[in-house]
């Protein structure tokens, strides 16, 4: 099991640790609800150094990205990022990812899910037919997500870069907490605002940045946050989790990701998705709110009022912000209309829920 540069700090701070995507990761520190509310209302720090980062360079780098992703990376200029996905040959998704434009038409950084690093690298390499220079910098790159409505206000004290006014899905690079060449990006997986910072783990820089972040943040009640609260935060905003809500068998059109599927260019299996857009899909990913008492969990069956199975839960939790049970799942298109009542099979009991808009919050 791998460690991040911050694993020992998590243990010393009392984190409950567990294996996640091959890494020893903090699941919680003081409890999911407390950590969740800290991020929603103030600011918290996530160690997400387990994520993967690839650098693609050269005159054909953009062409390769265009061919393997659904979104239109040609729209990116220096300092901009976009959410995208890697479609497979069978109508599913290899992974979802972020594309960062370091230097337009020349240098890009792809940020992929930790569990898919090897799979994604192999997939992109397979399509690299024009000699694009590729570097897997995942093991050398540390990543912290400082999230919450107060995050940029606190972190601005550690840099001369203008991060307070950083627009969503843009980034800057420079000195942060006394460390050079740090990428500060207005991205994140919580919907609470804030930044993510990428930097090379060398010469004690990880410890220096961590200490400086908490020197400033702890004065204002900022706390370290585990992956459990990261999951409740992302679910309230309806953000997909690879392996749960999207995978090799789900199409971006089914998952509500048509907005990152651009038919102004050619890409892997474009014809399948274009046909789905024109003709519609047979199932859709929807938000679900419990009417009766019970918490939907991944794998629970969804039934219509007559007891016919119409889908499956992909994610579910008790929402700390809304104080109600919520979930996401795939249902037949006929049952995907907002307000439709369905039953979730929880411990062999049919528990009533209804289809609602995503995001929940």
Residue ranges of the chain whose pLDDT lies below 70? none
Amino acid 61: pLDDT? 98
CB atoms within 10 A of CB 210: 19
Length of the chain: 361
Indicate the burial class of 196 (C-beta count within 10 angstroms; 0-12, 13-18, 19 or more).
buried
Amino acid 124: pLDDT? 98
Amino acid 15: pLDDT? 98
pTM as predicted: 0.96
The partner residues of 223 in beta bridges, in order of sequence, read: 44
Nearest Cα residue to 319 out of 223, 194, 227, 231: 231
CA dist., res. 69 & res. 102, Å (int) = 17
Amino acid 164: pLDDT? 96
Amino acid 355: pLDDT? 98
Radius of gyration of the chain (CA): 21
Domains of the chain: 282-356 (2.40.30.110)
- Angle at CA of residue 224, ends 220 and 43, nearest 5°: 45
Amino acid 114: pLDDT? 97
């Amino acid at each position: 099991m791998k460690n991040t540069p911050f694993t020992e700090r998590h243990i010393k701070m009392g984190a409950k640790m567990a294996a996640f995507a091959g890494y020893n990761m903090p699941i919680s520190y003081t409890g999911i609800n407390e950590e969740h509310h800290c991020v929603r209302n103030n600011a918290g720090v996530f160690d997400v150094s387990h994520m993967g980062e690839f650098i693609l360079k050269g005159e054909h780098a953009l062409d390769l990205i265009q061919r393997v992703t659904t979104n239109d990376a040609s729209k990116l200029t220096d300092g901009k990022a976009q959410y995208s996905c890697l479609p497979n040959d069978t109508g599913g998704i290899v992974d979802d990812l972020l594309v960062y434009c370091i230097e337009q038409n020349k240098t890009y950084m792809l940020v992929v899910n930790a569990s898919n690093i090897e799979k994604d690298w192999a997939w992109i390499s397979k399509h690299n037919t024009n000699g694009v220079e590729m570097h897997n910098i995942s093991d050398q790159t540390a990543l912290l997500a400082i999230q919450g409505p107060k995050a940029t206000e606190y972190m601005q004290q550690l840099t001369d870069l203008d991060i307070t006014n950083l627009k969503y899905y843009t980034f800057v690079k420079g000195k942060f907490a006394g460390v050079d060449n740090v990428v500060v990006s207005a991205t994140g997986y919580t919907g609470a605002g804030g930044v993510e910072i990428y930097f090379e783990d060398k010469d004690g820089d990880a410890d220096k940045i961590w200490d400086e972040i908490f020197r400033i943040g702890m004065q204002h009640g900022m706390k370290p946050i585990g992956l459990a609260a990261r999951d409740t935060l992302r679910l309230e905003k309806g953000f997909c989790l690879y392996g749960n809500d999207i995978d090799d068998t789900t199409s971006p059109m089914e998952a509500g990701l048509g907005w990152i599927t651009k038919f102004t260019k050619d890409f892997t299996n474009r014809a399948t998705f274009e046909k789905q857009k024109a003709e519609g899909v047979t199932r859709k990913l929807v938000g679900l709110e419990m009417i009766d008492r019970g918490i939907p969990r991944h794998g629970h069956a969804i039934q219509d009022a007559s007891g016919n199975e119409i889908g499956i839960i992909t994610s579910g939790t008790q929402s700390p912000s809304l104080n109600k049970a919520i979930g996401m799942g795939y249902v037949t298109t006929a049952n995907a209309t907002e307000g439709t009542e369905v039953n979730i099979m929880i411990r062999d009991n049919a528990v009533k829920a209804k289809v609602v808009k995503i995001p929940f919050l």
